[in-house]
Amino acid sequence: MRNSWEYHATDAKRQPGPPVTPIDPAELVRQYHERIPDPSRPGERVSFGTSGHRGTPLDGSFTEAHILAITQAICEHRAANGIAGPLYLGKDTHAVSPAAERTALEVLAANGVTTIIQEDDGFTPTPVVSRAILAHNAGRGARADGIVVTPSHNPPPDGGFKYNPPDGGPADTTITGAIQDRANALLAARNRDVRRMPIERAATAATTRPMDLVAPYVDALAGAIDLDAIRRAGIHIGVDPLGGASLAYWPRIAARYGLDLTVVNPVIDPTFSFMPPDHDGRIRMDCSSPWAMAGLVKLKDEYDVAWGNDPDADRHGIVTPGAGLLNPNHYLAVALEYLLAHRPRWPAAAKIGKTLVSSALIDRVVRTAGRALYEVPVGFKWFAPGLYDGSCCFGGEESAGASFLQRDGSVWTTDKDGLLLGLLAAEITAVTGRDPGTLYDELTVRLGAPVYTRIDTPCSAEEKKAFQRLTPEAVTASTLAGDPIESRLTRAPGNGAPIGGLKVTTAHGWFAARPSGTEDVYKLYAESFRDDAHLKRIVAEAREIVQGVIRSGGGG
């Protein structure tokens, strides 16, 4: 059942459409600076989701005013919490990211915050910021933190802005809630209390320090990956940065460690017009999407293993000659089984983290290895504390994001690292003599072959509220697709945190439903360890269950 997986957007596979009209970067930046958001409109307020504030100048949801307010709120948060070390400021290659970086720098400099940026106006991946924060904080002195200007894999018109506190990972909801509230108060007061200086002064201020952030990350990689094994095996590697921030890193990694690595697409273009359309006809730099990754998949037979990264390089998409693009769940299961067998210095008591909508194949790998599972809601922030203190040796989520400890059991990053997971695929191939696609086939012979899907279904604002009121007792069904229901969850088993939805499990399958934070849909995830017909039954019955509990208002 290699690569049995699907993604459906409102139950429809992508249909060919008219050519995508490229964005006008200059016009986008003009609107970023000139458009004034209306804080009375929910869509134009600061809103931190699972990965910071995201939006677009085109509808007033990502503007200079937003970044001024958020950055001032971060400065005040730092002062209130005694964070007096440097702030690492990174950006990706989206069209408005450089403009937002300049805005942030104007505020940081005016507030006297020592800010470290990539020299020569370069781009910085999310995991590099995380790694830099942790490396600094491993020594003595004032604590560092960071900001990454990125909307991740979102379409070209979008912008994003996220904060990483001193533990290096995505900020938790307590921190982001406070920053969001303060930023909205500043926004409502037309940013009168924002400290700011012109960019010409900010760029040359004593507190603004351009540095080479590439070398420290590249030099440290050998602590996390067996790069000598990759070099000795002569693994032929292909990498597509998808026009993102990892582009400058791959040649230096190849040169530093003597790897046979080819960057198949060296283009940086903020229109991303080289990208194939995604499932809905829009451009997304989503390295887990078979549509967006079509260019690299065409080259799959030219390399022993290949991968792509999204613009801020916190996600990975692994491509092998036989399988093409691996389902992220499948690769995470293979990666985890390999790591547990080849990292003898990892703490035996360290748990394995996964989001509750990731494949249950991961559960089976963990059980077989005799390790403890740590299952949490969607969002990588839940793994950061455990990765930081070593109580969690691996954290992975269904959307192709993961990180893990260094080979000696110490922390690597506490944010997702797509470069790391790509290089791990090469290490796996070098050490085992088999690529991750082949190893996945072997794994399913032993542990079962899952069939997985995710479906987006329209959902009103009132229906979304019902998800927040869900209780396990609201599910009155005793079976799912012919199997007895074993659990009904509205809180994650690993940490007891609300999942914002529902998960129902049996011995042979499961489904989970949760509303989208940015679109008027709910996401239905489902998996079967029987076959496609069984998966379809799970989906059909899941919809009935979800609609039933929504109609009841979520209560039992």
pLDDT, tens digit, 9 for 90 and up, residues 8-44: 433 334 445 556 789 999 999 999 999 999 999 999 9
What is the predicted pLDDT for the residue at 8? 40
What is the predicted pLDDT for the residue at 178? 97
Distance CA 501, CA 512 (A): 7
Distance CA 485, CA 476 (A): 10
Give the long-range contacts of residues 45-49, CB within 8 A, separation 24 or more.
45/184, 45/187, 46/70, 46/180, 46/183, 46/184, 46/187, 47/180, 48/171, 48/176, 48/177, 48/179, 48/180, 49/517, 49/518
Look up the CATH number of the domain holding residue 527: 3.30.310.50
Do 436 and 479 belong to one domain?
no
Do 537 and 408 belong to one domain?
no
Do 157 and 260 belong to one domain?
no
Coil, helix or strand for 305?
strand
Q: What's this model's pTM, rounded to 2 decimal places?
A: 0.95
Mean pLDDT across the stretch 100-112?
98
Do 295 and 327 belong to one domain?
yes
Query: pLDDT tier at 6 (50, 70, 90 boundaries)?
Result: very low
What is the predicted pLDDT for the residue at 19? 66
pLDDT at position 284 over 60: yes
Structurally, the chain folds into a number of domains equal to 3
Angle between helical axes of 360-368 and 328-342 (0-180°, round to 10): 10
Look up the CATH number of the domain holding residue 280: 3.40.120.10
What is the predicted pLDDT for the residue at 466? 86
152 is catalytic: yes
Tokens of 81: 């919490």
Q: Last residue of a domain, which of 160, 189, 212?
A: 212
Pairing of strands 483-484, 479-480: antiparallel
**415 occurs within a structural domain:** yes
What is the predicted pLDDT for the residue at 518? 65
Half-sphere exposure in the Cβ direction for 194 (13 Å, CA): 31
What is the predicted pLDDT for the residue at 166? 98
Residue 406 belongs to what domain range? 217-447
**19 occurs within a structural domain:** no
What is the predicted pLDDT for the residue at 5? 39
Do 224 and 302 belong to one domain?
yes
**508 occurs within a structural domain:** yes
Q: Which residues contact 550 (CB under 8 A, 6 or more apart)?
A: 463, 466, 467
pLDDT at position 359 over 90: yes
Q: What is the edge-to-edge ordering of all strands in the sheet holding 52-55?
A: 48-49, 52-55, 159-164, 145-149, 87-91, 115-118, 208-211
What is the predicted pLDDT for the residue at 50? 74
**530 occurs within a structural domain:** yes
Give the closest residue to 37 by CA, choosing from 50, 52, 51, 47: 47
Distance CA 202, CA 89 (A): 13
Mean pLDDT of the chain: 94
Q: Which residues contact 243 (CB under 8 A, 6 or more apart)?
A: 93, 265, 267, 268, 269, 272, 274, 275, 285, 311
Q: Is 486 within 8 Å of 530 (Cβ atoms)?
A: no
Mean pLDDT across the stretch 466-483?
91
Do 105 and 133 belong to one domain?
yes
What is the predicted pLDDT for the residue at 457? 87
pLDDT at position 536 over 80: yes
Q: Is 541 within 8 Å of 477 (Cβ atoms)?
A: yes
Q: Last residue of a domain, which of 151, 183, 212?
A: 212
Q: Last residue of a domain, which of 151, 181, 212?
A: 212
Q: What percent of the chain has pLDDT over 70?
A: 96
Q: Is 479 within 8 Å of 485 (Cβ atoms)?
A: yes
Do 203 and 58 belong to one domain?
yes
Do 334 and 443 belong to one domain?
yes
pLDDT digits (tens, 9 = 90+) for 391-401: 999 999 999 99
pLDDT digits (tens, 9 = 90+) for 49-78: 877 999 999 999 999 999 999 999 999 999
**20 occurs within a structural domain:** no
What is the predicted pLDDT for the residue at 2? 38
Q: Is 65 within 8 Å of 37 (Cβ atoms)?
A: yes
Do 164 and 92 belong to one domain?
yes
What is the predicted pLDDT for the residue at 470? 84
**18 occurs within a structural domain:** no
pLDDT at position 94 over 90: yes
**221 occurs within a structural domain:** yes
Beta bridge partners of residue 163, listed in sequence order: 147
What is the predicted pLDDT for the residue at 460? 87
Do 392 and 483 belong to one domain?
no
Among candidate residues 61, 152, 359, 399, the one labeled active-site is 152
**433 occurs within a structural domain:** yes
pLDDT at position 526 over 80: yes
Give the closest residue to 342 by CA, choosing from 449, 439, 237: 439
Do 200 and 135 belong to one domain?
yes
120 burial class (0-12, 13-18, 19+ CB within 10 angstroms)?
exposed
Query: pLDDT tier at 551 (50, 70, 90 boundaries)?
Result: confident
Mean pLDDT across the stretch 386-393?
98
Do 252 and 280 belong to one domain?
yes
